[in-house]
Amino acid sequence: MNINLTLIAQLLSFAVFVWFTMKYVWPPLVKAMDERKARIAEGLASAERGKHEQELAEKRAKDTLHQAKLQAAEIKANAEKQAAMIVEEARDKAKEEGGRQLTAAKAEIEQETNKAREALRTKVAELAVMGAEKILRKEIDADAHKDIVESVANQI
Amino acid sequence: MAGSETLTSGEYIKHHLTNLTYGQFPDGHWGIAHSAEQAKEMGFWAIHVDSMFWSLSLAVLFGYVFYRAAQNASAGIPSGLQNFVEMMVDFVNDSVRGSFSGKNDMVAPLALTVFAWVFLMNMMDLVPVDLIPYISGVLGIHHMKVVPTTDPNITFALALGVFGLILYYSIKIKGAGGFIGELTGMPFETKNPLLKPFFAVINLILEGVNLIAKPVSLALRLFGNMYAGEMIFILIAVMYSAGWVLGIFGGVLQLGWAIFHILIITLQAFIFMTLTIVYLDMAHSEHH
């Protein structure tokens, strides 16, 4: 229990060991630990980022899908509308064509009728003239009494 | 062991409490003391070879293990040893961060050294008290105290080392004037110029005691705890010489005391480290 040189010797070794720890033990350990801490933090951050990105991508995919559905519906509606329009148009055209043909036919019929009437009238006039010729023979000149014959024919 | 016919219990205890001392005999020549009386006569010029041997061996062990871990330290996945060492470093670092507000790269390594070294030296207390002295006795060395922290030289050396740092940083941070001002200007303050010298003396006495108490309490607390613990181990060991029944009872006691002592060992190392940090923090801060 005597205080002696041991005190000095221990004091010196204490100084040496503190110096040793300070120089060779502490800094590399703390550096490695700090580095690992940084690395772990970075890893966690990037994992978080990845998760976030995935969420974004999912959302984007959903949006795109939704958009595509909308577009498809629109295209379908357009197509239906167009089809209806085409049918309508065709019907109109057909109706118009029918009408036109009908009119043409009517006109032709009328023309034919007129022609027939004209022919008939001419024939009747000829017949009348012929009859009058037969009756009057020499007294009536065909050219001199043409207007009379014509008025008769017109009245038929 | 303790019951050998040539030794009484008193002699046995005394034997266990005597360091292996190498020093200068009163007649001038150097050598190993053969008894406690001879060791006492050597006075200051003597060295406790056992204390120095064990404390240096443990310090080298600590230094080697931690140095190896530090050399292999990487930011990757730590191996078992590195894990343990990093745990210690983290623990000390947290303590320093919690108690030390200044900025000084020396405090944390100092705290680690103090903690690990004191812990290892205390741990020698768990080695059965007779084992190493018996082995060394067989080898021809008759005095062997294996727990360095039961030697006041060791604890006072650590405490004085810390004290030196307290003084150094007090003066470095606050300046010599500031440090003296702190010692004389508190706790009694006055504006009266006549009273000032009177108060300064009182303050110096109070603060001086406060200052000196730091290393003394640091050293004596550790020494007292470990010395008492060692003493109880020795007293329990004395029971082994008193027959079967007391021997078995002593065995149970020794086991119980050893288990309890694990707590004391760790606690004393932790207290020494924490107080070192706190004292240095005081030295770094402007006010108490």
Instruction: Give catalytic status of residue B19 as yes or no.
Output: no
The answer to whether A43 contacts chain B (CB < 8 Å) is: no
Indicate which residue of B93, B136, B221, B241 is catalytic. B221
Q: Output the pLDDT for position B3.
A: 41
User: Best of A11, A12, A25, A35 to disrupt the B interface by mutation (most B CBs within 10 Å)?
Assistant: A25
Q: At residue B39, does pLDDT exceed 60?
A: yes
Type of residue numbered A153:
A
Query: Helices then strands (H, E): number in chain A?
Result: 3, 0
Q: Output the pLDDT for position A138.
A: 66
Q: At residue B1, does pLDDT exceed 70?
A: no
Q: Which range has highest mean pLDDT (B24-28, B149-153, B242-246)?
A: B149-153
Q: Kindly report the pTM of this predicted structure.
A: 0.72
Q: Name the more confident of B201 and B185.
A: B201
Instruction: Give catalytic status of residue B210 as yes or no.
Output: no
The answer to whether B44 contacts chain A (CB < 8 Å) is: yes
Q: Report the alpha-carbon distance of residue B120 to residue B135 in Å, rounded.
A: 20
* Chain B residues in contact with A21 (beta carbon < 8 A): 63, 66, 109-110, 112-113
Phi, then psi, of B286 in degrees rounded to 5? -70, -35
SS3 B48: strand
Contact by Cβ (8 Å): B161, A14: yes
Contact by Cβ (8 Å): B152, B219: yes
Token digits of residue B242? 């008193």
Q: Which of B92, B70, B95, B91 is nearest to B81 (CA)?
A: B70
Q: At residue B186, does pLDDT exceed 60?
A: yes
Cβ distance B109 to A26 less than 8 Å, yes or no, reads: yes
Residues 6+ apart with CB under 8 A from B172: none
Q: Name the more confident of A113 and B188.
A: A113
* Chain A residues in contact with B59 (beta carbon < 8 A): 13, 17
Confidence of residue B6 (pLDDT cuts 50, 70, 90): low
pLDDT single digits (tens) B47-104: 888 888 888 999 999 989 888 888 887 777 777 888 888 888 889 989 898 888 888 8
Instruction: Give catalytic status of residue B217 as yes or no.
Output: yes
SS3 B31: strand
Nearest to A6 among B71, B106, B151 (CB): B151
Q: What is the mean pLDDT of chain B?
A: 84
Cβ distance A6 to B153 less than 8 Å, yes or no, reads: yes
For chain A, positions 13-32, list CB contacts with chain B under 8 A. Answer: 13-15, 17-18, 20-22, 24-32
Mean local confidence (pLDDT), B102-126 = 89
For chain B, positions 20-39, list CB contacts with chain A under 8 A. Answer: 21, 23, 39
Q: At residue B27, does pLDDT exceed 90?
A: no
Mean local confidence (pLDDT), B116-133 = 87
Number of other CB atoms surrounding residue B179 within 10 Å? 18
Contact by Cβ (8 Å): B95, A39: no
Cβ distance B59 to A13 less than 8 Å, yes or no, reads: yes
Q: Each residue's pLDDT tens digit in chain A (156 positions)? A: 577 888 888 889 999 998 998 888 888 888 888 888 899 999 999 999 999 999 999 999 999 999 999 999 999 999 999 999 999 999 999 999 999 999 999 999 999 999 888 888 888 888 888 887 787 776 656 677 778 777 877 887
pLDDT single digits (tens) B249-264: 888 988 999 999 999 9
Q: Output the pLDDT for position B287.
A: 60
The answer to whether B81 contacts chain A (CB < 8 Å) is: no
Mean local confidence (pLDDT), B182-191 = 77
Q: Output the pLDDT for position A141.
A: 64
Q: Name the more confident of B269 and B238.
A: B269
The answer to whether B55 contacts chain A (CB < 8 Å) is: yes
Stretch among A73-82, B172-181, B224-233 having the lowest mean pLDDT: B172-181
Q: Output the pLDDT for position A92.
A: 93
Token digits of residue A94? 């057909």
The answer to whether B216 contacts chain A (CB < 8 Å) is: no
To 10 degrees, the CA torsion angle through B56, B59, B64, B70?
A: -150
Q: Report the alpha-carbon distance of residue B228 to residue B221 in Å, rounded.
A: 11
Q: At residue B202, does pLDDT exceed 60?
A: yes
Q: Name the more confident of B140 and A68.
A: A68
